[in-house]
Amino acid sequence: MLGLFKKKNTIPEFNFEKIGIDMHSHILPGIDDGAPTVRESIMMINRFKDLGFKKLIATPHIMSDYYRNTPDTINKALDQVREELQKQNISIPIEAAAEYYLDETFESKIDKGNLMTMGNGYLLFELSYINYPNNLKEIIQKINDKGYKPILAHPERYPYLYGSIENFYKIREFGCYFQMNTISLTGYYGKPAQKAAQDLVDHMMVDFIGSDMHHLKHADALHQALSTEKLKFLFEEGCLQNEMLK
Ligand SMILES: [Fe+2]
């Protein structure tokens, strides 16, 4: 009889519990193109919980042209979310790092240090969607030389890398990890990105997976990704390192 009154478990049978940590999202309020207010932040965080996540690392954009975030703006937004979580009695650890855009200011930021990292010095960075950055090798080298561990965000989303798997191998040889957007596997960003994501899985090149969640449509796609064979393969056979960010 007691079972009748039990709260219905909303966690799907196959979920993200095994991965546990989401390490790429835009859930901090009002500082980039993700959650506009703390209300949306909480809605997204609740969806993460329903999907089985145990810890979140928010990664607001740092871009000189659009989002001039600093550790200060990011930590203030993080405090706001943590306060609201406490107020609403929602329990999930949340930390913040950043998603750095490789623009003309990135190199000097690396030189200065004080970068927003996750785990033991992992640095998430992204590239232009339009042009291959000619200084990519040097930048990755510099990040490593400074003692950080570079993670390239969503390599499957850069069209200029399509056509040959060698393009991806080459970048990894420069000395960086790859983070795939889980929802790329559903075709959310279109067929070419989906194919590139599938190829990365097949070639065991996915080191981290992340939601890159900006809004609730991404949460729906994340749920949908749980039905893809490639994600199941990644969970069972892949070499995902999300746990390193505990
Ligand atoms: Fe992102």
For 50-54, what is the mean pLDDT? 96
Count the helix, strand and coil residues of the chain and give each as a percent rounded to the nearest 5: 45, 15, 40
pLDDT, position 53: 97
Strand order in the sheet with 122-126: 61-62, 99-101, 122-126, 149-153, 177-181, 208-210
For 34-54, what is the mean pLDDT? 98
Q: How far is the CA of 1 from the centre of ligand 1 (A)?
A: 46
Q: How far is the CA of 27 from the centre of ligand 1 (A)?
A: 10
Q: How far is the CA of 88 from the centre of ligand 1 (A)?
A: 27
What pTM does this model have? 0.94
Q: How far is the CA of 229 from the centre of ligand 1 (A)?
A: 24
Q: How far is the CA of 4 from the centre of ligand 1 (A)?
A: 42
For 54-65, what is the mean pLDDT? 95
Instruction: Give the percent of the chain with pLDDT over 90.
Output: 91
Q: How far is the CA of 164 from the centre of ligand 1 (A)?
A: 24
CATH number of 15-245: 3.20.20.140
Q: How many CB atoms lie within 10 A of CB 203?
A: 12
Contact 21, 53 (CB under 8 A): yes
Q: How far is the CA of 44 from the centre of ligand 1 (A)?
A: 15
pLDDT for 2 beyond 60: no
Round to whole Å and give the CA distance between 13 and 18. 12
Give 6's pLDDT tier (boundaries 50, 70, 90). Answer: very low
pLDDT for 7 beyond 80: no
Closest CA to 159 of 191, 186, 125: 191
Q: How far is the CA of 152 from the centre of ligand 1 (A)?
A: 11
pLDDT, position 11: 54
Q: How far is the CA of 181 from the centre of ligand 1 (A)?
A: 9
Alpha helices in the chain (DSSP H): 38-50, 71-87, 106-112, 136-145, 165-175, 191-202, 216-225, 229-237
Round to whole Å and give the CA distance between 243 and 231. 16
Q: Which residues contact 209 (CB under 8 A, 6 or more apart)?
A: 19, 179, 180, 181, 182, 234, 240, 242
Q: List pLDDT tens digits, range 91-147.
A: 999 999 999 999 999 999 999 998 999 999 999 999 999 999 999 999 999 999 999
pLDDT, position 246: 87
Closest CA to 99 of 184, 203, 179, 200: 179
Round to whole Å and give the CA distance between 58 and 27. 6
Average pLDDT score over the chain? 94
Token pair in block for residue 48: 């993460």
Q: How far is the CA of 212 from the centre of ligand 1 (A)?
A: 5
- Which residues partner with 118 through β-bridges? 122
pLDDT, position 1: 43
Q: How far is the CA of 124 from the centre of ligand 1 (A)?
A: 9
Q: List pLDDT tens digits, range 201-210.
A: 999 999 999 9
Give the CA count within 13 Å in the CB-facing half-sphere of 206.
27
Q: How far is the CA of 61 from the centre of ligand 1 (A)?
A: 7
pLDDT for 184 beyond 80: yes
Q: How far is the CA of 36 from the centre of ligand 1 (A)?
A: 15
Q: How far is the CA of 100 from the centre of ligand 1 (A)?
A: 9
pLDDT for 150 beyond 70: yes
Q: How far is the CA of 138 from the centre of ligand 1 (A)?
A: 23
